[in-house]
Amino acid sequence: MHIFKNNFNLKKEIEIAKRKGYAIGQFNFSSLEQLQGIAKASKKTGYPVICGTSSGEANFVGIEEAVSLVRSMREKENIPMFLNFDHGKDFEELKVAIDAGYDMVHIDASLKTFEESIAETKKVVSYAKKKKVLVEGEFAKIGGKSSFTGEKIEKTVLTSIDKVVKFVEQTGVDLVALDVGNVHGIHAQMPELSLERISIFLESCNFAGVVLHGGSGIEKHAIREAVRRGVMKININTEIRKAWRDSVFYEMTQNEEQITPYKILPFAREEVYKKVKEKIEIFKT
């Protein structure tokens, strides 16, 4: 367990995780009680967390507001809590987040050609480094979306090893998001992780770490083995959303006369805390 001293640096936390053999969880939020639940889990477990906001989540919460909320909780609770802009599509969008004070940004250039994705990512990396902000890159699309579906996904288009090496070398990203059999969301049938591919990626590239998107719904044993093989960051969103939604729905249906948000939402905060804590326990293997 960490002894927190309120002098936090995400790059150092990633290096510590790599050395000690655990993964840092990214947990997305779009409400205060979700963020409070994430912070509580970090405080209770003694492990760092990355709070994520997608474009939609950032637009709802507010980019400056998200930065202020995470910073204030980090300082008040004395926890290594960081903020990442998840799946930013271009330089201009991420420049706003970098200037606002995000600790990390994720440039998802997977809809562009490979050469275009390298060029766009290099642009983001160049600007982010001036601000000491980390960059996560993604050039090959990771399928699915952060929701529950009845869809059966038996396999995915695994990211090319040769392209990963070229992408990392030419862009200088700190982390890279890969398709190793993972998908966003939880589906009626989930594909199996290609654990051997994770090992090959890490042997082929010299960078801070592999990011596993779509961590929701993956079996515990597969997650633990992925971490043992070197995955450094795992993203969870769908299970956080479900924990929040189920709690709010339950409380509102149990007491239909209750209309006071601060009497309903603490239950959602607690369920988010439980889910995040559960994931952290798995990620530390």
CA 125 to chain centre: 18
CA distances from 171 to 99, 119, 177, 211 (A): 20, 8, 14, 16
SS3 205: coil
- The answer to whether 137 and 177 have CB atoms below 8 angstroms apart is yes
- The answer to whether 18 and 209 have CB atoms below 8 angstroms apart is yes
Catalytic residue, chosen from 86, 103, 108, 179, is 86
3 backbone dihedrals φ, ψ, rounded to 5°: -105, 105
CA 134, CA 68: separation in Å to the nearest integer? 18
CA 15 to chain centre: 17
**Taking the alpha carbons of 121, 195, 230, 144 in that order, is the dihedral positive or negative?**
positive
- The answer to whether 103 and 132 have CB atoms below 8 angstroms apart is no
Q: Would you call 86 a catalytic residue per the annotation?
A: yes
Structural tokens at position 189: 């049938």
**Catalytic (active-site) positions:** 86
